[in-house]
Amino acid sequence: MPAPSTSVDVCMYDGFGLNSGLTITGGNGALLVNGEAFAWRPWEATGSMELVNKKGQFDLPKEAFGIFDLLWPRPDLLVIGVGKHNLPLSPETKKHIAELGMRVEVLDTRNAAAQFNLLATERGVSEVAAALIPIGWKEGVGAEA
């Protein structure tokens, strides 16, 4: 089975290169949903570059996942890439994703991209989505630093 066009070919410091030839750069994350690729800036939903709470958990507001409020049917699984190093997901973020009817898997961005590529190829892009933060993203300063 061929890899989907939204497969991640390369994780860059400030973005991603996709199988389709599309490049997402400028410090943007990537949201890969139903065979479509979107630039994703979850820090804009928080009003700051802070994506990690005081407990060291990756913590995003509901607004960061707003596209899933509009999408039906939703993917079964959301793979989240949280940057260069893996972090636990906050209980609030985990709960919101569960309320959307999706399971979640959290990994560092490189492994999350590889997991998305594998599962999207096996199961199809309608079943698996990915939300990826660039590997150059740094708490408090973003990918521009």
List, in order of start, the domains of the chain with CATH numbers.
8-132 (3.40.1230.10)
42, 6, 3, 8: which is closest to 111 by C-alpha?
8
Q: What is the pLDDT of residues 20-44, one digit of tens each?
A: 999 999 999 999 999 999 999 998 8
Contact between 34 and 75 (Cβ < 8 Å): yes
pLDDT tens digits, one per residue of 121-141:
999 999 999 999 999 987 544
User: In this predicted model, what pLDDT tens digit does every residue of 89-116 receive, in sequence order?
Assistant: 999 999 999 999 999 999 999 999 999 9
The reported pLDDT for the residue numbered 49 is 78
Which helix (DSSP H) or strand (DSSP E) does residue 45 occupy?
A: helix 43-46
| pLDDT band for position 50 (cuts 50, 70, 90) | confident
Q: Strands 103-107 and 77-81: what pairing?
A: parallel
How many CB atoms are located within 10 Å of the residue 94 CB? 16
Quote the tokens at residue 129.
């989505």
The CB density around residue 56, as the number of other CB atoms within 10 Å, is 11
Cα of 133 vs its chain's centroid, Å: 6
CA distance readout (Å), 15 to 11, 71, 92, 100, 123: 6, 24, 27, 27, 25
Beta-bridged to residue 80, according to DSSP, are 106, 131
Q: What is the pTM of this model?
A: 0.92
